[in-house]
Structure formats: C-alpha cells, structure tokens
Amino acid sequence: MEETLVDIDFKEKEEYIINMGPQHPSTHGVLRFETCLQGEKVKYIIPHCGYIHRGIEKMSESLTYPQLLHLTDRMDYLSAHINNEAVALCVENAMEVEVSDRVKYIRTILAELSRIASHQLWWSAFGMDLGALTTFFYGLRDREKILDIFEETTGSRLIQSFITPGGLMADIHPNFQRRVKEFITYFRKKLPEYDQLLTGNVIFRERTLGIGYMSKEDAIDYAVTGPSGRGSGFHCDVRKLAPYSAYPFVQFNEITYTEGDTYHRYLVRMKEMWESLNILEQLVDNIPQGEIMLNLKAIKAPKGEYYQRVETARGELGVYIVSDGAPTPARIKYRSPNFSNLFILNKVSANHKIADLVAISGSLDLVIPDIDR
Amino acid sequence: MALLTTLKSIGNYFREIYNGVTSLARGMRVTGKYFIQPSSIVTQQYPENRATLKMFDNFKGELILKHTEDNEHFCDACNNCARKCPNGSIEVISKREEGPDGKTRRVLDKYIYHLDMCTFCGLCVQACDQSALEFSNEFEHAVFDRNNLIKQLNHPDSKVVEKQAETKEPNTPTV
Amino acid sequence: MYDFSPFIDSINSFFTSNFSPFWASVLLMLLLGIAILAFYAVLGLYLVYAERKICARMQNRIGPNRVGPLGLFQTIADLIKLLLKELIYIRNADGFLFNIAPFIVIVASIMAIGSIPFAKGLQAIDLNIGVLYILAISSMGVIGVLIAGWASNSKYSVIGAMRSGAQVISYELSVGLSLLCMIVFAGSMQLSDIITSQQDGWWLLKGHIPAFIAFVIYLIAGTAETNRGPFDLAEAESELTAGFHTEYSGIKFAFFFLAEYMNMFIIAAVATTIFLGGWLPFHIYNFTAFNNVMDYIPPVFWFFGKTAFIIYVMMWFKWTFPRLRIDQLLALEWKYLLPLNLLNLVLISFLTLMKWHF
Ligand code: SF4
Ligand code: SF4
C-alpha cells in the first residue's frame, strides 16, 4: 500500500490511532472510524465507509422499476416502507399518474409506523451506546408490536417491498386499523416510561447535554437532515416543506430545537414519536375507499430526469431517476440521508472524549447500509 | 451579599444532588416494576411453543405452487413469474405434450425455486395470471446444505388443471 | 444458639491431637484453602447466574432456562466451555505479565474472602485490623487490571486499564472514608468486634442520618471499585469493546469475570458486616416475641440474605443506569462523594464524642 499524505502525517506526529470498527459495538454495522486520540480526547476522526457497498444503484440499472424496488428496502432497512415510497412516488411523478387517496393514507400510516419503529430501535441502541443496557429490550419489545402490524398486512417484518409504483402490493388486513389503534394507546403509555428511564436520568443528561454541538450553519453546510439537523434548528422536514402522500391532510408539528447538542437531537426523536402517534391517530380512522393499485399497462418512466424527496426516519432521502424511456432506469441515484449525516461527525466530535464520540455517533442515528448502498 | 450567593450555591449543590438522586430513583422504579411483574415477560419459548405458534396468513414464508386435492396445479408455464423475478430465483422448465384435444401444448415440467436467492418481494405471485402461486407460512428454513434450498415446486406426477375447469368455480386449492 | 466456634474448634483439636503441630497447621491450611476455593467457585458461578436471571426479569425476559431446571447449570456449562477454549497468546504481548494478570486479580479477591465473618465463629481469620486488611487486599486487584491492560499491547486495553486505575485510586478514598465513619462508631477495626457492637441495633439504624449517608456513599464507591455498571468504564463495551480484557480468552477471561462478581460479593459482604450487623438477626427494640422468632433463623441465612439484598441493589443499578464518562466519574468522586464523606466523618466523630447514638 502506498503511503498517503495522511499516513506520513500520522508517523511524524506519533498520534495514538485506534480503529473503531469495522467490527465495533458502537458503530452498529460495518463502518470504520479511524480515531486519533490524545489521552481520552478525540483529536479527529476519519470515517471509512464502503464495507457494505452492494452496488444497489448500478444493479438497479438492469432492473425494471417494480423490480428495483426490493433493493431500496435494503438501503435504510429501518425505514423500508419510506424508501419504497420514495421510488414509487418518483416513478408515479414521471408517469404523471396519481394514486387514490386510500393508497396515500395507507402509505402514510405505514411510513409513520416505520418512523416510530425506527426511532424505537434507535432509542434502544442509543441507550446501549451509553451503557444503559435495559433500554435495548424495552425498545425492541415495543417495536415488536409494529412489526406484527406490518407482518399481518405485508407478510414480512423488516423489508416489506409493499409500496410499489402505482399503489400497494395488497390491501390492508381487516385487523390493520384495530391493531394500529391498539398500538397507539399502548405506546402512549410506554413512552413516558422511556423518559423516566433515560431522558430524565441525571447521568444521561450529563452525558448528552452540551455534547457534540452542531450549529445551524454546520447542519446546512454538511446537509445534515432529519432529526439530527432539526436538533440544530434546521427546518428540513420534507413532510412540511414539500408534502407528499397524505401529509397535506394531517396536522402535525415539525419538531426543532436550536441547541444542537446530543441531548436535543435525542429530544427531537422522542417528540417525533409523539407526533407520529398523532398523525396515525388522524389517519387511521379515516382511510377512504378506493383502488389499491392503478391499472397501469407498463410501468416505465418517459424520457427525462425526475427527482423526488421524502422524509425517512433519518432525514431526506432523494431519488433521482434518469430515464431514456425504457422500462429500466438509465441511471438511478439515491441521495441517502446517512451519507451526509456521517461526515459531520468529525466536526462535532473533535475535542470530545471517546465516550462522547459514541454518544454523538449514536445521536446521528446512522444506518450503515444506507451510507454505502 | 456574598454570604447570600455562597448560601445559594451551597443550596444549589444540595439541590443538584437531590434532583440527581430522584431522577435515578425514577429510572429504578421502572426496572423494579418490571422485575416484580412476571406477566410482563415477552419471551417466546420457540421450539416448545411450536404447536401454538401461528404465523399471520399473509406471512411470506416460502413460495409454493398451489395444488388441488387431485394433485393438479394451475400453472400453464407461461414464464411470467420467472421474468418478473428480480434475481432469477425461479426457473420454469416446460415441455411440449399432447393435450386432450389432440393439439400439442406447453405444459409445466419442472418449477424450480431457489429459496436461497429469493428476497420475498412478492412480484412473482402478483405476476401470475393463473393465480397459481402463493406464499406458505413455513418459516423453518434452516438446512445444512444450501442445495436443499433449491426446491421443485410442482409435486411429482401433478398435472395442470384442465382449462374447462376454469369456467366452473375452480376447486379450492389445498396446500 | 448457632455458634460455629465449637464445630471449628473440634476440627482444630482433631488435627492438633492427631498430627504434629507443623503438619496440623499445614493440613488445616490446605483444608481451609480448599473450602474457600470451592466456596469461591460455586458462589461466583451462581452470582453470574443470579445476575443473568435478575437482569432478564428487569428486561421482560426469562433468562437462562435451558441447561438444567430453571437453567441452574447454565453458568457451569459456560465455565466448562471456557475451560475448553483455546487460550490465545498474542505475539506482541508481554507474555509473563499477560499470564500473571488474571491470577493477581483473582488471588486478591480470594484473599479478601478469608476474613469475612459468615456467622459467629465462621471466619477464616479474625484480624484485629480486618477492615484495613480487606481494603488493602481488594485494592490489589487493580494492579492485575493495570497489568492486563498494559501487557495485552492493545490500544483499547490500555485505555481501559488507565481508566480503571484512575477510577479505583479515587474511589478507594470514598470506600475507606465511609468505612472509617463506621469504625469511629464501632471503635474497632476487628470485624467481629464491629458485629458485636451492633448487638443492640445495626449501625445503619442507630447511626442516624450520617450512617445512612455513609452507607449510600459506600455502595456507590463500592460499585465503582468493582468496575461494575454504571461505573464499568474499564470495560465499557460500547466504547472499548471489552476494555482491559479485550485480548483474553478461555479460562483467563473467566478469571476476570469471576473476580468481578466475587469483588461485588466482597463489597456487599463488608457492607453487611459493617452497616447491617453482619450475621446478627433483625431485632426490634423490646419486641421480645418478634426478636425470638428472628433469633431462630440461623445467622448464616441472615448474613447471606443481607448480602444478597445489597448485591441485588448493585445489579439494579447496573441494569438501570447509563454509564458515566471518565471525567464525570472523577467529578462525582472528588466533588460530591469526598466532600460529603469528610463532612460526614466530622459529624460522626461529633456524634460519637457526645455519645448521641443509641
Ligand atoms: S418473491 Fe420475488 S425474489 Fe422471490 S421468487 Fe418471487 S419474484 Fe423472485
Ligand atoms: S406460476 Fe403463473 S406466472 Fe409462473 S409460469 Fe406458472 S402460470 Fe406462469
């Protein structure tokens, strides 16, 4: 291996480099942080990604639109429905068709359920990053309820491939609405418990308050979207900025804080779960009748370039399709939220302790397969 | 004045301790509550609960070709499903055979399904005009050899349902 | 009623009458050693089991339930697995230190067990400076941890070991001071004396609020000294993978693991002895009927019951709280526990001088 400039730099300065990852409990996947320490203090980190690159974008070029959909599940697997929805919306825009309101409502309900499930898992893992191992089980216990709802309707728990261009793969299960309502009441009772266990805890507050400050300018410069950006006061909720699906029909608040530290990134997500419950409550009883799949002869985008963005649980997912009129895209590009969010890490974690690095990277809620795609 | 601020800061010092301790106690109440509530255990004891473990009807366990009681399936070997499959998990091998009306026609010889490659996207089931495919609830897929995951879906000696059956109500398929 | 001294004396006299004094003492030592080792291993394994069951219940799980009834043999099976596992030698590690570190850790905790009074007369050695001995011995373990971290020649291990060093050195102060508070009350460092001084009430109950504060500080500092959550910075698996024992495998890893649990037991046992009256039963002042019933419960049960309670509380801490950061850990000690402790010590000295305790 040839020596890069950085390598030589390391040798001259005799820095204490540790590799966090690719196999490390706090990176939640195969991501590697080359971390330079000075004592306990992090001087800088260099994220190395690519360990789980699967070439989804290139692979998609040889697949038709309904086919390439099943690859999008595998990018940010915690918001699989939302990823599906992004592609579906983009293709529908290109074909200039509009799905029925029923589909829109169901899509939004599924998306919000995924958002809650994703935040639950994040909460679990975040607690675990900070050493509170019990949170992991409470989060997963409640997430299981959502996965059951998914499984009953879509047939799978994690990667569903349910929302397709033109509608949905199937209609919702008769139990769907009842279960969602049950979940709303159940989870409204459990969320305060989350707060008692972690949010109010003095150790937790000490560990997160004022740690990893990210200014609004930084958030914008690095294009940090989603809850991580909103924690710094960056209004970037696509559901508000460019409402899609059933979001125009519902009332909800965009949660933003201006403090920009780990604690407030955490709070954004906790509050978002409440908001998502509100959205669900507004939608679940009012699902209108309508067809669940448009009768499309062939699903192909006309020649041109199309872009659609949606709000996943981690930020703004953009789908950019270049089509030459064939049933397969000529080029498809995903603007994945995690890739942008990752690179702020060096800036916000410099001069913090190594334990804070874990807390900060946890608060950015990175999903590694989405970084590499 | 200085005394007042000192007193205040001492008060704050103790208040900080008090708040910290109560917040810790609140957390301990949550875990303590679950400790004394055996009913809150959510663990499922898997191999023991096999009899009562019921998957949802929609659960996508593995792809099967529906067969009637007379060992007849609905597949006319049109190959749509194999074409729709994003990763080539399906191979439809057809042969030509003389039908009851005397004409040669295309019938299904082997329906090969690669469970090891399938991503359970459901496109094949959607693509089939004959509704010949469905997902079973089987989920215990573990095998010792990967080759065991390559399955032939049409049962041995099964035939295709005769076309005229379609005008009547088709037999309810059994799995 | 339940006095072990005649039983112990009979064993003693059996050996002294049948063997020459030299061989008698050698054989007695051997017997004692075997007894303590067996006790150590069994107790350590079942503490691991208890922790797994307790944390499972707190997390809505069942915990180990496959090996044996209720999973009672699970930890034994784990130990056998660890015994059979390959010991990995690291090429660039300092071989001698690397191998000796787990033994230092485990020997320190075995030695501390020796002076704990389990019941009247059931104590391997009743030193007149028992408290000091336990403090001194149990802090030797950290040398093992430091050596382990250093000798592994792994970056994570070194960070873990350094954290552990800083942590134990600071928390040693609090442990010592809070015990000192109680020694001032009891007026003796001999563990059996401390217990007898609690004949008319445990120090926690008759020592007013200062005793309670000392108890809480002791629990916190004790948890920190054993490197357990929320003070498990030396291992901090989400930061340092496994801290100082990252590179250890097989039985050497098991030594660290067992020692951690036994240290917890020692901390709890000392707390029992000094704050909760050791093997003395619970008495309510002048309530004779109740007191008599309590007297019927053997002291061994009292001792282990109280210890188990304290261990449970320590596990409860671990499975509820997030981990502290190293600077917060030190701030907690130097800014909160130590000043409080010193204040407490003055208060207690005052109380004792004025004879205001019961
Ligand atoms: S479910 Fe999808 S991947 Fe599996 S066989 Fe059918 S089309 Fe292929
Ligand atoms: S299963 Fe259906 S789609 Fe596939 S070959 Fe048979 S009839 Fe055609």
Structural domain includes residue B139: yes
Structural domain includes residue B108: yes
Structural domain includes residue C55: yes
Pair B71, B8 in one domain = no
* Residues C322, A355: C-beta atoms closer than 8 Å: no
Radius of gyration of chain A from its Cα atoms, rounded to whole angstroms: 21
| A286/B contact by beta carbon, under 8 A | no
Residue-level pLDDT at A169: 83
Pair B18, B84 in one domain = no
What is the extent of the structural domain holding A326? 6-372
Is residue C193 pLDDT above 50, yes or no?
Answer: yes
Average predicted confidence (pLDDT) for chain C: 81
Radius of gyration of chain B from its Cα atoms, rounded to whole angstroms: 31
Structural domain includes residue C21: no
* pLDDT tens digit sequence for C93-138: 777 888 888 888 888 888 888 788 877 766 767 778 878 888 888 8
What is the extent of the structural domain holding B88? 63-160
* Overall number of domains in chain C: 1
Pair B91, B155 in one domain = yes
Structural domain includes residue B105: yes
Residue-level pLDDT at A9: 55
ipTM of the shown complex: 0.80
Structural domain includes residue B54: no
Residue-level pLDDT at B89: 86
Structural domain includes residue B55: no
* Overall number of domains in chain B: 2
* Shortest Cα–Cα distance, A316 to chain C (Å): 28
Quick check: CB of B65 below 6 Å from ligand 1? Answer: no
Q: Where are the beta strands (DSSP E) in A3-117?
A: 16-20, 32-38, 41-48
Domain CATH number, residue B111: 3.30.70.3270
Structural domain includes residue C9: no
Is residue B166 pLDDT above 50, yes or no?
Answer: no
- Is cis: bond before A337, omega within 30 of 0? no
Residue-level pLDDT at C185: 78
Mutate to test the interface with C, among B31, B33, B39 (most CBs of C within 10 A): B31
Pair B34, B67 in one domain = no
Which token pair is B72?
Answer: 């007849």
Task: Determine phi and psi for A62, rounding to 5 degrees.
Answer: -105, 10
Rounded to the nearest whole angstrom, what is the distance from the C-alpha of residue B123 to the centroid of ligand 2? Answer: 12
Pair B8, B76 in one domain = no
Structural domain includes residue C17: no
Pair B14, B73 in one domain = no
Average predicted confidence (pLDDT) for chain A: 84
B120, B60 Cβ separation under 8 angstroms: yes
Structural domain includes residue A246: yes
Is residue B107 pLDDT above 50, yes or no?
Answer: yes
* Residues C60, B41: C-beta atoms closer than 8 Å: yes
Closest CB to C336 among B17, B30, B43: B17
Which residue's CA is minimally distant from atom 6 of ligand 2?
A: B75
Which token pair is A338?
Answer: 């995690």
| B49/A contact by beta carbon, under 8 A | no
Helix (H, G, I), strand (E, B) or coil at C113: helix
Domain CATH number, residue A306: 1.10.645.10
Quick check: CB of B149 below 6 Å from ligand 1? Answer: no
Chains that touch C (3 or more CB pairs under 8 A): A, B
For chain A, give me the number of helices (H) and strands (E)?
16, 8
* Shortest Cα–Cα distance, C335 to chain B (Å): 10
* pLDDT tens digit sequence for C40-59: 888 888 888 888 888 888 88
* Overall number of domains in chain A: 1
**Strands A41-48, A32-38: pairing kind:** antiparallel
Closest CB to C319 among A133, A207, A353: A133
Which residue's CA is minimally distant from atom 3 of ligand 1?
A: B118
Q: Sign of torsion, CA A336 A337 A340 A342?
A: negative
Is residue A285 pLDDT above 70, yes or no?
Answer: yes
Residue-level pLDDT at B109: 81
Burial (CB count <10 Å: 0-12, 13-18, 19+), residue A19: middle
Structural domain includes residue C281: yes
* Residues C321, B32: C-beta atoms closer than 8 Å: no
What is the extent of the structural domain holding C47? 41-354
Among all residues of chain A, which has the CA nearest to that of C159? Answer: A40
Q: Which range (A27-41, B47-61, B159-173) has the least confidence?
A: B159-173
Ligand nearest to the CA of A67: 1
* pLDDT tens digit sequence for C321-331: 888 888 888 88
Rounded to the nearest whole angstrom, what is the distance from the C-alpha of residue B120 to the centroid of ligand 1? Answer: 5
Pair B82, B125 in one domain = yes
Closest CB to A153 among B27, B55, B58: B58
* Residues B34, C320: C-beta atoms closer than 8 Å: no
d(CA A225, CA B168): 58
Pair B91, B21 in one domain = no
Is residue B167 pLDDT above 50, yes or no?
Answer: no
Quick check: CB of B119 below 6 Å from ligand 1? Answer: yes
Chain A residue numbers with beta carbons less than 8 Å from the beta carbon of B60 are 155-156
Structural domain includes residue C12: no
C61, B43 Cβ separation under 8 angstroms: yes
| B27/C contact by beta carbon, under 8 A | yes
Q: Sign of torsion, CA C127 C133 C134 C135?
A: positive
Structural domain includes residue C148: yes
Residue C334 pLDDT class (50, 70, 90 cuts): confident
Cα→Cα distances B24→A205, C116, C322, Å? 11, 31, 10
* pLDDT tens digit sequence for B62-75: 888 888 888 888 88
Structural domain includes residue A1: no
The pTM (predicted TM-score) of the whole model is 0.85
C195, C117 Cβ separation under 8 angstroms: yes
Chain B residue numbers with beta carbons less than 8 Å from the beta carbon of A163 are none
Pair B6, B73 in one domain = no
Structural domain includes residue B48: no
